[in-house]
Amino acid sequence: MGLSQELRSIPNMLSILRLLLVPVFLLLLLYDQFGWALLVLATASFTDWLDGQIARRFNQITNLGKVLDPSADRLFIFATLIGLTLNGNIPWWLAAVIVARDLLILVGYVISANHGYGPLPVHFLGKAGTFALLYALPLMLLADIWEAAHLVVLPLAWAFAYWGIALYWLSGFVYLGQLKRLISQERSKSSSI
């Protein structure tokens, strides 16, 4: 399947829509339009679920989709971190811990590319960590909007946040371990020739 065909697949068009919603979401957060921001986030979450369902059910999994889908997730996490940190809804250290892990993975991508490898497959731990963070951050926002539920929603949000951070970092170390094994195997093969 060529790039133009991949771009026209329904799952990839939904991922592109999610990417286009990221700046809208960030602007809504920065202008304290939290209700609208949650609506945009809910729409993005639904399209994320829907594109996965369509891709698997109709065998429309593409290389482009393997890049677009996680990119949209990361950008929504970054947009949420930026907006909620600047608004004072979350502490700066939470954003720093999450961004630091992604910087570590970025270094891994560079090393991977230098050795001729593409991105390694997404690990279940990374998906679970992303899932937890994609619940934690909106729940933190919801706790600020819905004062009556603050006592229930905020502890739940922090539970998701801590689990998300732990799984996120653990998946980062798993990814780097996979990369190290690939490079070691490559070196072993080249030294035995």
Tokens 């947009």 found at: 79
pLDDT tens across 42-62, in order?
898 888 888 888 888 888 888
Rounded to an integer, what distance in angstroms lies between the CA atom of residue 15 and that of residue 50?
10
**CA–CA–CA angle 182, 184, 188 (5° rounding):** 115
**CA–CA–CA angle 170, 22, 165 (5° rounding):** 15
pLDDT tens across 9-38, in order?
888 889 999 999 999 999 999 998 988 998
Q: How far is CA 162 from the centre of its chain?
A: 16
Same domain, 115 and 176: yes
Torsion of CA 90, 156, 42, 164, to 10 degrees: 70
Residue 84 lies in a domain: no
Same domain, 98 and 176: yes
Instruction: Write phi, then psi, for 38 (nearest 5 degrees).
Output: -65, -35
Same domain, 47 and 100: no
Same domain, 184 and 115: yes
pTM as predicted? 0.78
> According to the model, what pLDDT value does residue 161 have?
95
pLDDT tens across 68-83, in order?
888 888 888 889 889 9
Rounded to an integer, what distance in angstroms lies between the CA atom of residue 110 and that of residue 43?
33
**Percent helix, percent strand, percent coil in the chain, to nearest 5:** 85, 0, 15
CB distance 98 to 77 below 8 Å = yes
> Looking at 49, 74, 99, which one is the last position of a domain?
74
Q: Give the long-range contacts of residues 35-38, CB within 8 A, separation 24 or more.
A: 35/145, 37/83, 37/141, 38/138, 38/141, 38/142, 38/145
Q: Which two tokens stand for residue 136?
A: 């934690």
> According to the model, what pLDDT value does residue 108 have?
84
Same domain, 58 and 111: no
Same domain, 64 and 96: no
Q: Which two tokens stand for residue 134?
A: 């994609």
